[in-house]
């Protein structure tokens, strides 16, 4: 594809080289640049793509896209200034034979040029975008599961993985960078997918990753203060605004009318509005509404279930239809996720029986995932990593009336410190016992993070212990689990790594639990043989 064709949806200035330059690929990482590529200079939190122009050109890039604010006119040339050097545009053209185009915002331009390069794949799919502070991943899995049950070949893009209809790849971001996103969509089209269900994060919207995509259905689940701080959102208002922009990119918006911020999410919307509710709130806003009722939560042989009735109300017609579903995803918050998925399914004329079957068997990796090895106690893995999700999780698990509710969690480093104390307070208030440990400390001291959490839990009077090493913490938790306990490992969920000092090390909760179970069995065997030691005796006093 010629450079000029790639830029047809963008306002730009060609400051060097030819628009007839053939482009065989595009990238925003200089290390991935190849012969004939367009290299787009993106400004990130820690680095600026303009600093890597030389590497991209050395790797064969045929064109470079820069931000116009980096250019200064000279007598007979233009100069591109970066922090470490300056480039004469004539040098890039003559020495490397590359074209240079300038745009106002390279992030937005990357998204639009990527859509053109891959021949606008989003327009060939039924696009379903899901946003919210919590529940995006679960709702995406439930929605895709229902559509697949009904025979729609469906791709998924989200926090856990990318499923292009043929292969599954690990996800690096909830919403991928725009050029990667467009490539995944093109793969879905090639593989015969007719639908794409994707999580749309507020950062994905803010960073212009979904520019150029028109969603057939946009779903709003909920919003609470989160992702506010350095490198994220400057305020809750900005966070909410970014979420609300999905309703300006969608043909139909499906909203949780029970969320108090739903009216603000609709400000400036351009979509047809529908909604779901558990309380019957806001139906005046809806063309159609889905409600829930008659719910129950119960446990069978160590498995947690929720059962509830879905009531569909046809807008203005007074008609109602209902059916009952059962899920291995307990909790009121998962009922909301199911209502959102069912609301989407109705647009595809999915039958009730297909919805029931899909919801009954759908499990989500790392979302209230039961990994117990015994029917005497329950071990759950969950991604709850903020105050809102932890509160909802622990409140839900209380409904099952465990002998003891034990939670193990930590907080991420290089993130807002405000959430740490609040998460500690939540755990101290709702759990019988809390184990404070490391999550992803990133470049921060793990003990300092634990200090922040401890400050919140200390005021509740709740029992707790600090064990910074997560492997040891999980061993301790499993070793001391007793009949009737529910033990939940929160914060990591599906993640298969731990980030320390900026480096990711392999580590999964599943592996830690398996190790802890083996550790427990070994020590139980030792104790049964009459040897001294027992299980974690030096910590057992905390559980009394």
CATH number for 167? 3.40.1190.10
Together in a domain, 156 and 88: no
Q: Supply the pLDDT for residue 390.
A: 94
Contact 228, 236 (CB under 8 A): yes
Indicate the pTM of the whole model.
Answer: 0.84
Per-residue pLDDT tens, the chain, 544 aa: give them.
999 999 999 999 999 999 999 999 999 999 999 999 999 999 887 789 999 999 999 999 999 999 998 898 887 789 888 888 889 899 899 999 999 999 999 999 999 999 999 999 999 999 999 999 999 999 999 999 999 999 999 999 999 999 999 999 888 888 999 999 999 999 999 999 999 999 999 999 999 999 999 999 999 999 987 655 666 667 888 999 999 999 999 999 999 999 999 999 999 999 999 999 998 754 445 567 899 988 888 887 777 888 999 998 876 556 788 999 999 888 888 999 999 999 999 999 999 999 999 999 998 888 889 898 888 899 999 999 888 889 989 998 998 899 999 999 999 998 777 789 999 999 999 999 999 999 999 999 999 999 999 999 999 999 999 999 999 999 999 999 999 999 999 999 888 899 999 899 999 999 999 999 999 988 876 654 444 444 444 444 344 4
Q: Supply the pLDDT for residue 288.
A: 76
Among the three residues 308, 327, 361, which one is the final residue of a domain in this structure? Answer: 361
Q: Supply the pLDDT for residue 373.
A: 82
Q: What is the dihedral of CA 235, 241, 242, 245, to 10 degrees?
A: 180
Q: Supply the pLDDT for residue 535.
A: 40
Q: Supply the pLDDT for residue 196.
A: 98
Together in a domain, 346 and 380: no
In angstroms, what CA-CA distances link 343 with 72, 128, 227, 287, 339? 53, 12, 27, 12, 6
Among the three residues 361, 382, 400, which one is the final residue of a domain in this structure? Answer: 361
Contact 121, 182 (CB under 8 A): yes
Instruction: Report the DSSP beta bridge partners of residue 306.
Output: 297, 327
Decide the pairing of beta strands 433-436 and 405-409. parallel
Together in a domain, 300 and 398: no
Q: What is the dihedral of CA 17, 22, 24, 29, to 10 degrees?
A: 10
Together in a domain, 410 and 496: yes
Together in a domain, 378 and 338: no
Q: 410: domain range? A: 369-543
Backbone angles phi, psi at 161, to 5 degrees: -160, 170
How many structural domains is the chain composed of?
3
Together in a domain, 104 and 252: no
Among the three residues 90, 115, 140, which one is the final residue of a domain in this structure? Answer: 115
Together in a domain, 463 and 512: yes
Contact 422, 387 (CB under 8 A): yes
Burial-class residue 62 by CB neighbours within 10 Å (0-12, 13-18, 19+).
buried
Residues in the chain, how many? 544
20: its two tokens? 């007839």
Together in a domain, 283 and 350: yes
Measured between alpha carbons, how far is 325 from 542 in angstroms, rounded to an integer? 40
Q: Is 484 helix (H, G, I), strand (E, B) or coil?
A: coil
Q: Name the one residue in this structure whose structure tokens are 């979904």.
A: 210
């Amino acid at each position: 594809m010629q450079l000029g064709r790639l830029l047809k949806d963008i306002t730009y200035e060609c400051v060097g080289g030819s628009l007839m330059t053939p482009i065989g690929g595009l990238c925003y990482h200089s290390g991935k640049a190849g012969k004939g590529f367009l290299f787009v200079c993106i400004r990130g939190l820690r680095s600026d793509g303009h600093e890597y122009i030389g590497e991209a050109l050395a790797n064969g890039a045929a064109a470079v896209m820069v931000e116009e604010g980096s250019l200064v006119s000279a007598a007979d040339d233009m100069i591109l200034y970066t922090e470490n050097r300056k480039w004469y545009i004539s040098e890039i053209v003559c020495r490397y034979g590359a074209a240079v185009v300038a745009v106002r915002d390279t992030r937005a331009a990357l998204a639009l040029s990527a859509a053109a390069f891959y021949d606008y794949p989003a327009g060939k799919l039924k696009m379903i975008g899901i946003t919210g502070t919590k529940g995006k991943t679960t709702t995406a899995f439930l929605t895709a599961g229902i559509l697949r049950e009904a025979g729609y070949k469906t791709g998924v893009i989200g926090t856990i993985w990318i499923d292009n209809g043929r292969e599954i790849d690990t996800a690096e971001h909830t919403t991928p960078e725009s050029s990667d996103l467009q490539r995944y969509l093109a793969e879905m089209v090639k593989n015969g997918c007719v639908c794409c269900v994707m999580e749309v994060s507020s950062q994905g919207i803010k960073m212009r990753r979904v520019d150029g995509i028109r969603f057939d259905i946009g779903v709003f689940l909920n919003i609470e203060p989160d992702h506010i701080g350095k490198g994220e959102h400057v305020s809750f208002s900005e966070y909410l605004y970014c979420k609300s922009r999905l309703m300006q990119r969608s043909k139909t918006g499906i909203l949780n009318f029970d969320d108090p911020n739903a009216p603000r999410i609709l400000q400036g919307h351009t979509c047809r509005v529908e909604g779901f509710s558990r309380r019957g709130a806001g139906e005046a806003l809806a063309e159609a509404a889905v409600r829930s009722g008659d719910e129950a939560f119960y446990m069978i042989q160590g498995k947690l279930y929720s059962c509830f009735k879905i009531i569909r109300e046809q807008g203005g017609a007074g008609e109602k239809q209902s059916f009952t579903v059962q899920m291995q995803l307990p909790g009121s918050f998962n009922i909301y996720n199911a209502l959102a998925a069912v609301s989407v399914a109705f647009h595809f004329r999915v039958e009730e029986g297909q919805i029931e079957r899909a919801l009954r068997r759908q499990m989500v990796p790392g979302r209230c995932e039961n990994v117990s090895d015994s029917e005497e106690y329950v071990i759950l893995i969950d991604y709850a990593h903020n105050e809102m999700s932890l509160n909802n999780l622990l409140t839900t698990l209380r409904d099952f009336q465990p002998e003891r509710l034990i939670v193990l969690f930590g907080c991420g480093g290089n993130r807002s410190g405000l959430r740490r104390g609040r998460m500690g307070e939540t755990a101290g208030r709702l759990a019988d016992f809390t184990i404070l440990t490391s999550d992803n400390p990133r470049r921060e001291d793990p003990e300092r993070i634990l200090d922040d959490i401890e400050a919140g839990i200390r005021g509740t009077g709740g029992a707790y212990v600090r064990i910074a090493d997560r492997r040891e913490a999980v061993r301790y938790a499993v070793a001391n689990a007793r009949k009737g306990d529910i033990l939940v490992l929160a914060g990591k969920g599906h993640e298969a790594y731990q980030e320390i000092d900026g480096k990711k090390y392999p580590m999964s909760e599943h592996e830690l639990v398996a190790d802890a179970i083996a550790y427990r069995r070994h020590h139980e065997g030792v104790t049964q043989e009459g040897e001294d030691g027992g299980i974690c005796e030096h910590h057992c006093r905390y559980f009394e």
